[in-house]
């Protein structure tokens, strides 16, 4: 996100929303990803390529984004016109996930770097966020409980009710409030 800007008002200043043209998104260059070790420590972010939200995407006109450094998308396409030196990569069907959505439903496992207070989502470590290690422990346990509940539901659909189950209610509350 770009640096926060402020507007003067009679009572002081208020923060302004970012304009879409001020917000840049980058995707890792998969060919330059390091092999072995935590990706968040060794990845050279200067090699990332800039990507753009496709104009037909509903997020294209958004000026406010959740406070998460990640976006997820369904498809990407490239186009190049005469005025561009290299093709532009456009992302379609883009959404901004909450942090707890990434922690709950992102790739397993959650790896905790206790020394640096970093959670790596997935074995590659490509998704890394700063958080207290106890968050990872609690989310890991909640994931285990949810997986077990879903396994029981698949084995015997009539015997398990998900709607009022405490694990499901906890997950829904986490997703709705993003841990607040």
**71-79: which pairs have CB atoms within 8 A and are 24 or more residues apart?**
71/25, 71/95, 71/96, 71/97, 72/96, 72/97, 76/51
| Residue 67 or residue 130, greater confidence | 130
The percentage of the chain sitting over the pLDDT mark of 90, rounded to a whole number, equals 13
Q: Quick: pLDDT tens for 6-33.
A: 777 787 787 766 555 566 676 766 555 5
Q: Quick: pLDDT tens for 30-77.
A: 555 555 555 555 555 555 677 777 777 777 766 665 556 677 777 877
CA–CA separation, 4 and 16 (whole Å): 7
Q: What is the pLDDT, as a whole number, of residue 17?
A: 63
Q: What is the pLDDT, as a whole number, of residue 26?
A: 66
End-to-end CA separation in angstroms for the chain: 21
CA–CA separation, 2 and 126 (whole Å): 22
């Amino acid at each position: 996100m770009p640096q926060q800007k402020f507007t003067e008002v009679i009572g002081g200043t208020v923060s302004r929303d970012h304009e879409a043209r001020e917000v840049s998104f980058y995707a890792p260059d998969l060919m330059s990803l390091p092999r072995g070790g935590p990706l968040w420590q060794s990845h050279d972010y200067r090699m990332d390529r800039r990507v753009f939200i496709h104009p037909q995407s509903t997020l294209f006109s958004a000026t406010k984004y959740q406070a998460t450094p990640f976006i997820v998308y369904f498809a990407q396409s490239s186009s190049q016109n005469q005025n561009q030196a290299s093709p532009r990569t456009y992302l379609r069907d883009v959404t901004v996930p909450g942090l707890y959505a990434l922690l709950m439903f992102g790739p397993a496992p959650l790896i905790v770097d206790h020394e640096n207070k970093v959670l790596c989502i997935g074995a590659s470590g490509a998704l890394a966020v700063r958080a207290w290690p106890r968050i990872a422990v609690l989310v890991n346990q909640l994931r285990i409980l949810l997986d077990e509940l879903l396994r029981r539901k698949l084995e015997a659909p009539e015997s398990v009710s998900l709607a009022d189950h405490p694990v499901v209610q906890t997950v829904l509350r986490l997703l709705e409030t993003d841990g607040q």
